[in-house]
């Protein structure tokens, strides 16, 4: 029996398979690149949102500062323990001179109190903002559109543009000053009599 002779097309089969594999690899690479780009865009958007929140929100600042406060407290405790240990060695005579200066206690405690002051400032600012918002809702129960500068064509009576809001606030301030002046003059008149 004679062996069948295969046509010369047989080497093309592995080449076709290689081409298919290459195409699949290219498609996978493209998909991976697209996924990476999408992830990068999402990360950038999240970072921008976080930055905007941090710029606007005092509470988020406090949250990040609490982490710094914890780190600073650990540095303070480390410096204090090192200083106490060095003083103990010197007092007991185990150490004649101070060897390597460790972290300075004064510097670390100063950093700690600085962070505490920043947290206090941000919390006070947040409380003040909340009180202003409550007062604004109480004394001006109208909705304020901070992005609108000109009146709307069919503006509702229950809303104000930002310039209208500013003029309302100015009139309230002038009214408050008038009341203060009246009260001062009344107390001066009563004290003169």
Domain boundaries, the chain: 33-139, 143-186
pLDDT at 5: 52
Based on DSSP, count helices (H) and strands (E) in the chain, helices before strands.
4, 2
pLDDT digits (tens, 9 = 90+) for 103-143: 788 999 999 999 999 999 999 999 998 898 888 778 777 77
User: Does the pLDDT of residue 155 top 90, yes or no?
Assistant: no
3-state SS assignment for residue 143: strand
Q: Which residues pair with 160 in a beta bridge?
A: 144
- What are the structure tokens assigned to 57, written together? 């929100």
Whole-number mean pLDDT of the chain? Answer: 80
Between residues 65 and 57, which one has the greater pLDDT? 65
Helix (H) or strand (E) holding 144, with range, is strand 143-145
Share of the chain above pLDDT 70, in %: 76
SS (H, E, C) 47-86: HHHHHHHHHHCHHHHHHHHHHHHHHHHHHHHHHHHHHHHH
- What are the structure tokens assigned to 36, written together? 């990476």
pLDDT at 157: 62
Q: How far apart are CA 73 and CA 113, in angstroms?
A: 10
Pairing verdict, β 143-145 and 159-161 = parallel
Between residues 23 and 13, which one has the greater pLDDT? 23
């Amino acid at each position: 029996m004679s062996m069948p002779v295969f046509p010369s097309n047989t080497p093309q089969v592995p080449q076709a398979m290689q081409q298919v594999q290459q195409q699949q690899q290219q498609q996978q690479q493209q998909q991976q690149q697209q996924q990476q780009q999408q992830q990068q865009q999402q990360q950038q958007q999240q970072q921008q949102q976080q930055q905007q929140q941090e710029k606007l929100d005092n509470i988020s600042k406090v949250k990040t500062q609490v982490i710094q406060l914890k780190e600073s407290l650990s540095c303070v405790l480390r410096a204090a323990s090192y200083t106490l240990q060095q003083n103990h060695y010197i007092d007991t005579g185990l150490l004649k001179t101070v060897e390597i200066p460790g972290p300075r206690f004064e510097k670390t405690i100063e950093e700690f109190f600085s962070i505490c002051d920043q947290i206090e400032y941000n919390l006070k600012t947040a409380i003040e903002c909340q009180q202003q918002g409550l007062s604004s809702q109480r004394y001006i129960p109208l909705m304020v559109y901070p992005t609108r500068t000109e009146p709307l064509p069919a503006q509702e009576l229950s809303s104000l543009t930002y310039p209208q809001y500013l003029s309302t606030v100015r009139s309230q301030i002038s009214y408050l000053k008038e009341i203060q002046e009246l009260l001062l003059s009344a107390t001066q008149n009563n004290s003169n009599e």
